[in-house]
Amino acid sequence: MSEPQRDLPAADPIDALADCWASAWTGRVGFLACCTPDVSYEDPVVVEPLRGVEALAAHAGALRAAFPDLRLERSARRVSDGSHACLPWRALGTQHGELPDLPPTRRRVTLHGVHYVEIVDGHIRRARGFFDLCGVATQLGLLPGRGSLGETAILMLRGFGLRAKR
């Protein structure tokens, strides 16, 4: 005799939306699955805000082309009040493709960030990404590492003088 089937608890709607959002960034689903058609998006590498799922999909596609092994992971608890949410994440990938003005470096990047999103009818209408662009540039070899002679030289050129070693 089989056991009676139990109803599983419903998934947290914010976790489901955040998982869909991450899947859209990695190309497993389209952005329409989790965004309004007129979604607005900003982050440190986007010069002007992107408008619409097509523009967002093109931006994500360019990142996937540069980092074909791109992986997004949940890095902390997602927080929401129903109309807005903070979605913390960690991205990992190796730059095998070109970025604007940057040939492939073959360097691995680990990046922590958060997307702050506005939610309308269960879909993301506006999203702003926050992450350490200087950290990414350092990992890709574009900027010198912290505490290095190169960092000291750049700080001196910018007028900050020498930093004392601790």
Q: What pLDDT, in 10s, does the model give residues 131-145? A: 998 888 889 988 777
Using the structure block, give the residue that is written with the tokens 């020498």. Answer: 162
8-12, 60-64, 109-113: which has the minimum mean pLDDT?
8-12
- Whether residue 164 has pLDDT greater than 70: no
- Whether residue 163 has pLDDT greater than 60: no
Tokens of 123: 């879909």
- Among 112, 72, 81, which Cα is nearest to 14's? 81
Report pLDDT for 4.
46
Contacts of 136 (CB under 8 A, 6+ apart): 109, 111
Report pLDDT for 145.
72
Report pLDDT for 159.
73
* Domains defined along the chain, listed by start: 13-131 (3.10.450.50)
pLDDT class for 94, splitting at 50, 70, 90? Answer: very high
64 neighbors 99 (Cβ within 8 angstroms): no
3-state secondary structure (DSSP) of residue 13? helix
- Whether residue 146 has pLDDT greater than 50: yes
Q: H helices within 67-148, ranges in order?
A: 133-139
